[in-house]
């Protein structure tokens, strides 16, 4: 073997030994046990908060209750990849808006039927007034998770608030105190008779149908009575079914009615009243 061959052989051998050493040393540590070589390192994994998202909003149509409020329900889903438990339904809100008027939810809570996994179902209650306008109210909802990330949805969802046509009369009687025969312009003692719109629909006209009064001997014709929407003039005679001028009962309004009588001359004294089967009729017409 020449000298060069020898050198080459030695170099090869050295390289081989070095490689083997590098390879076998950790391998031997593993085989012989951790006591030979141990390394510790920390592992840190940060999971960022996933913001909530509102998926679906729904509300059935609803109808006002005459003269009072109506609790309307708004339902919606909130999804959060961190789990439904991160969304507190009591911190959610809902409101409805129509023509610049907004009604806000009084409370929100969990809607169990829709809650599970990454979804929180929420139900909110809004108290609508009887006089709130009928139509399509735009729904806005809001939810927040425990990392203070929030979600809103304010497009494309409506609450249909139906129309209620309703009114009330302050009393079912009109009285006239002492009046002599032949005396004119006698006011009703308990004027005005007030009509109150207790719904959210408008009434364009108010009609009154009167009947004659009798004491069994004489009569006071319906035409002797007059009615007006103000107390500054006698108004028109109740000769037939009369539409009272300038009287209407729009949403959230009242209308007063004033009644006068011209007592005919020459009639007998006594107590006069309408027939038992006949009553005066106040009609509100839409």
Partner 1 sequence: MVSGSLQLKIMKKFFFILFLTIFLSSQTQALGVAQDYLKDNTLRLLQGQEHVLKLTLQNPQEEPVTVTLVINSEIATIINPNQTYNLPAKSFDTEIFLKIKAPKDAQIGDAHKIIYSITPQAKDNNGGMIGMNMRLTRSFDVLIVDENGVGTKPKKLNYYYLSFTIVLFFVIFLLWKRSNIISKKLFRKK
**Residues interacting with partner 1, by CB under 8 A?**
61, 63-68, 134-136, 160-181, 190, 193, 198-199, 201, 213, 220, 261, 263, 267, 269-286
User: 55 or 286, CB closer to partner 1?
Assistant: 286
Q: CB within 8 A of 189, min separation 6: which ones?
A: 175, 176, 177
Whether 88 contacts 150, CB under 8 Å: no
Burial of 14 (0-12, 13-18, 19+ CB in 10 A): exposed
User: 87 or 208, CB closer to partner 1?
Assistant: 208
User: 109 or 168, CB closer to partner 1?
Assistant: 168
User: 117 or 223, CB closer to partner 1?
Assistant: 223
> Residue length, the chain?
286
For the bound state, the minimum distance from the C-beta of residue 239 to partner 1, rounded and expressed in Å, comes to 17
User: 119 or 274, CB closer to partner 1?
Assistant: 274
Nearest partner of 214 among 278, 258, 283, judged by Cα:
278
User: 42 or 172, CB closer to partner 1?
Assistant: 172
For the bound state, the minimum distance from the C-beta of residue 147 to partner 1, rounded and expressed in Å, comes to 41
Whether 257 contacts 206, CB under 8 Å: yes
For the bound state, the minimum distance from the C-beta of residue 171 to partner 1, rounded and expressed in Å, comes to 4
What whole-number distance in Å separates Cα of residue 255 and Cα of residue 229? 7
For the bound state, the minimum distance from the C-beta of residue 97 to partner 1, rounded and expressed in Å, comes to 16
Q: Annotate 9-64 with DSSP letters as a single string.
A: HHHHHHHHHHHHHHHHHHHHHHHH-TTT---------PPPPPPPEEEEEE---B-P
CA-based Rg of the chain, rounded to a whole angstrom? 43
For the bound state, the minimum distance from the C-beta of residue 120 to partner 1, rounded and expressed in Å, comes to 31
For the bound state, the minimum distance from the C-beta of residue 126 to partner 1, rounded and expressed in Å, comes to 17
């Amino acid at each position: 073997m020449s000298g060069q061959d020898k050198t080459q052989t030695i170099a090869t051998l050295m390289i081989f030994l070095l490689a083997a050493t590098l390879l076998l040393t950790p391998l031997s540590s593993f085989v012989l046990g951790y006591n030979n070589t141990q390394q510790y390192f920390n592992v840190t994994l940060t999971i960022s908060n996933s913001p909530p998202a509102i998926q679906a909003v729904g509300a059935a149509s609803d109808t006002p209750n005459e003269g009072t409020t109506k609790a309307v329900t708004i339902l919606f889903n909130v999804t959060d990849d961190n789990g439904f438990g991160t969304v507190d339904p009591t911190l959610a809100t809902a409101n409805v808006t129509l023509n610049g008027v907004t009604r806000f939810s009084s409370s929100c809570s969990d809607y169990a039927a829709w809650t599970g996994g990454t979804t929180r179902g929420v139900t909110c209650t809004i108290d609508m007034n009887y006089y709130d306008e009928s139509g399509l109210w735009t729904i806005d909802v809001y939810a927040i998770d425990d990392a203070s990330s929030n979600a809103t949805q304010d497009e494309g969802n409506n609450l249909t608030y139906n129309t209620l046509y309703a009114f009330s009369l302050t009393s079912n009687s009109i009285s006239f105190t002492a009046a002599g025969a032949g005396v004119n312009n006698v006011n009703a003692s308990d004027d005005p008779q007030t009509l109150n719109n207790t719904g959210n629909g408008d009434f364009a006209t108010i009609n009154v149908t009167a009947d004659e009064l009798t004491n069994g001997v004489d009569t006071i014709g319906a035409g002797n009575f007059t009615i007006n929407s103000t107390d500054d003039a006698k108004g028109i005679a109740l000769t037939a079914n009369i539409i009272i001028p300038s009287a209407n009962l729009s949403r959230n309004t009242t209308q007063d009615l004033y009644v006068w009588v011209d007592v005919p001359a020459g009639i007998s004294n006594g107590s006069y009243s309408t027939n038992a089967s006949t009553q005066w009729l106040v009609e509100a017409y839409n």
